[in-house]
Amino acid sequence: MTNKLTVLSGIRPTGYLHLGNYFGAVRSFVKMQHDYNCFFFIADIHSLTTHPTPENLQAGVKQVLAEYLACGIDPEKATIFIQSDVPEVSELYAFLNMNAYLGELERTTSFKDKARQQPDNVNAGLLTYPVLMAADILIHKANFVPVGKDQEQNLEMARKFAQRFNYMYKTELFPLPKPYTFDGKDMIKVPGLDGSGKMGKSEGNAINLYEDPKDIRKKVMRAVTDSGPTEPNQPKSEPVENLFTLLKIVSTPDTVAHFDALYNNCEIRYGDLKKQLAEDIIAYTSPIRERIIENLKDEAYLGRVAKLGAEKARESAARTLQEVKEVIGFKRLF
Ligand code: TRP
């Protein structure tokens, strides 16, 4: 063990990584693996709340693993693992459930949202989702959890459960996990292609890293714009600003300056801008996409990575679980 601080983050295997995930998080994970003791895992148990078929579950897990690796997460540096490979997590989850209260779980925003979205499947796993997430975090005694805004409340609950456990058993076993916010320059909010808001899996406005160049062109050409500037140096509308933001992320400063000047002279043709944007996105994502394809083909490699990750994660998890059991009183006296 090193004396580095521990960072942990998880992702549910329910879709492809998109540019928003990449620039908002995964690219920073790649940097963090040098400075922190990092755990990045695939939350396959969490994904059971929506009842995937076994085939979809397996394909989803494989995809995320291939994508994490393609983005540059190094299995020798960080611990990349699959949640269900570490049964200690489920054990801690059972213990933590005894100190999680119905009222507070029912009040969680993500529970209320999910209950509204899937009224025919309001299962207990949805209710205790934050408890399982707390178990994920606490079992490795994570100090920092890089999460987006939508997960802040879950992280707050993890802190609350940790604090409650520590207080109840008069221990300092669990450090209180803090949200990790990337400093301004690292954290890029990637807008979607639908004119407003950020890129998101469920918003249907995303470009995936795995996306075929043909589809990237199609999606970008369909992006929302406006009817064009009518006077020089006019402020940009949100949809157009968003396209420029994307251009700044993937294109050279010269390209951005070129289209900016055209816009400011009212000579811009959005079609040209979109064509350039699509090609620059393709140039950026193509090497990643190729690595994803290679990884997906190399099941032996993916298997080795998962096995190595599971071993490292289980070792860390078993250590914490042992301490937890002693504190709780699961100590044989006979
Ligand atoms: N709930 C997270 C999400 O939907 C995934 C997740 C599960 C997670 N366990 C975690 C994230 C632990 C950070 C830490 O995105």
Q: Which amino acid is it at 55?
A: E
Phi and psi angles of residue 222, each rounded to the nearest 5 degrees, phi first? -85, -5
Domain covering 6-187+299-328 in this structure, CATH number: 3.40.50.620
Out of 136, 149, 181, give the residue to mutate to test ligand 1, the one with the largest number of ligand atoms within 8 Å of its CB.
136
CB-CB contact of 174 with 182 (8 Å): no
Q: For residue 256, which amino acid is it? A: V
Task: Tell me if 9 CB under 6 Å of ligand 1.
Answer: yes
Report H helices in the chain: 19-21, 27-35, 54-71, 87-97, 102-106, 109-117, 124-127, 129-138, 152-168, 213-221, 238-250, 253-264, 270-297, 299-328
Contact 21, 192 (CB under 8 A): no
Q: How far is the CA of 133 from the centre of ligand 1 (A)?
A: 6
46: Cβ below 6 Å to ligand 1?
Answer: yes
Burial 135-148 (b: 16+ CB within 10 A, else e): bbbbbbbbbbbbbe
* Residue 81, strand partner residues: 41
The whole model's pTM is what? 0.92
Check if 145 has its Cβ closer than 6 Å to any atom of ligand 1.
yes
Instruction: Please state at what angle helix 54-71 crosses helix 299-328, rounded to 10 degrees.
Output: 100
Q: Which of 175, 132, 122 is nearest to 10 (CA)?
A: 132
Domain(s) labelled CATH 1.10.240.10 in the chain stretch across 213-292
User: What are the residues facing 6 on neighbouring strands?
Assistant: 37
Cβ(13) to ligand 1 under 6 A?
no
CA angle 10–16–18, rounded 5-degree value: 90
Alpha carbons 38 and 142: distance in angstroms, whole number: 9
Is the Cβ–Cβ distance between 224 and 193 less than 8 Å?
yes
What are the b/e assignments for 290-309, b being 16+ CB within 10 Å?
ebbeebbeeeeebeebbeeb
The pLDDT value recorded for residue 185 is 55
CATH number of 213-292: 1.10.240.10
Ligand 1 midpoint to CA 137 (Å) = 9
Residues of the chain with CATH 3.40.50.620: 6-187+299-328
Q: 117: Cβ–Cβ under 8 A, 6 or more apart, which residues?
A: none
Residue with tokens 């897990």: 61
* Digitized pLDDT (tens) for each residue of the chain, 334 residues in all: 568 999 999 999 999 999 999 998 899 999 999 999 999 999 999 999 999 999 999 999 999 999 999 999 999 999 999 999 999 999 999 999 999 999 999 999 999 999 999 999 999 999 999 999 999 999 999 999 998 888 999 999 999 999 999 999 999 999 999 999 776 655 678 999 998 888 988 788 899 999 999 999 999 999 999 999 999 999 999 999 999 999 999 999 999 999 999 999 999 999 999 999 999 999 999 999 999 999 999 999 999 999 999 999 999 999 999 999 999 999 888 8
| Ligand 1 center–CA 162 separation, angstroms | 16
Whether 105 contacts 134, CB under 8 Å: no
* Partner residues linked to 79 by β-bridges: 39
